Amino acid sequence: MAKIAQAMASEQELIIESKSWVMVQDDAITCEGSSSGSEDGLADETSGRQALIPLITDAIQDAWDELGVPTERLDHLKTLERDVLTPSLTLPAGAALGLAERDSILRAMSMVMQLKGMSLSEWFEACALLDSYCLKVPVRIELLPAICVSIVRIVRKLHTATCEDRSEWLPYTQQLTHWLAFLGYAIPEMTEQFLRRHEMGLLKELGWQVEIPSIEGWIKMATARFN
């Protein structure tokens, strides 16, 4: 943090000096332009503008590198986000998950993750995975319980190396199952084999790209760079 503050202070001095220099240059350009013609004056002005000192110096870039938030990583995440959150061209019109259904599955995911003691960062990762999946395939409403558990299990596997009893995940499908059955949907029987098969299908639809930039990740990176 001290290095960033020092770099920003030095940069501020350079900006003040550059502004003073540009004011002198602008006066000179105006005088020269009026005496030698508008075209020559425009060329000199363009040359003067190109000499401005960039706002992001090497010192600031080095400080970002030390914090693990370099510009290269920012560009990589922007490209990755564009790839994973771009709607599929084969997705039929009107096939997107409705707001009410999305709200319900998010609530169910939140409950499961709280019971599992998972973090807020993992919650945002799960939300990003859900949105990426829903942009690639038409979502069948009756499969929301399986989607909910599959996404939470994928995120949990990314953050733990602990072997878990898979059968303990089955009760977490009940909340959505009862709600959808009440609405008249025919819900398939939720077994461990069914959940495992659905999880594999979800991973394939995602192209095995499960580390997706989340809202929290962007906020953390922006905060680190601004600090």
Neighbours of 149 (CB within 10 A): 23
CA distance 14 to 7: 11
Rounded CA Rg of the chain: 27
pLDDT of residue 49: 46
Encoded amino acid at 219, one letter: I
Buried b (16+ CB within 10 A) or exposed e, 76-107: ebeeebeebeeeeeeeeeeeebeeebbebbee
pLDDT of residue 113: 94
pLDDT of residue 71: 73
pLDDT of residue 101: 86
pLDDT of residue 77: 72
pLDDT of residue 40: 54
pLDDT of residue 97: 78
The pTM for the full model equals 0.62
CA distance 165 to 174: 18
User: pLDDT tens per residue, the chain (227 residues)?
Assistant: 444 344 444 444 433 444 443 333 444 433 444 444 445 554 555 454 444 445 667 776 667 667 666 777 777 677 767 776 676 666 666 666 788 888 989 999 999 999 999 999 999 999 999 988 988 888 889 999 999 999 999 999 888 866 666 668 989 999 899 989 998 999 999 999 999 999 999 999 888 888 887 777 777 777 777 76
pLDDT of residue 108: 92
pLDDT of residue 30: 39
pLDDT of residue 9: 43
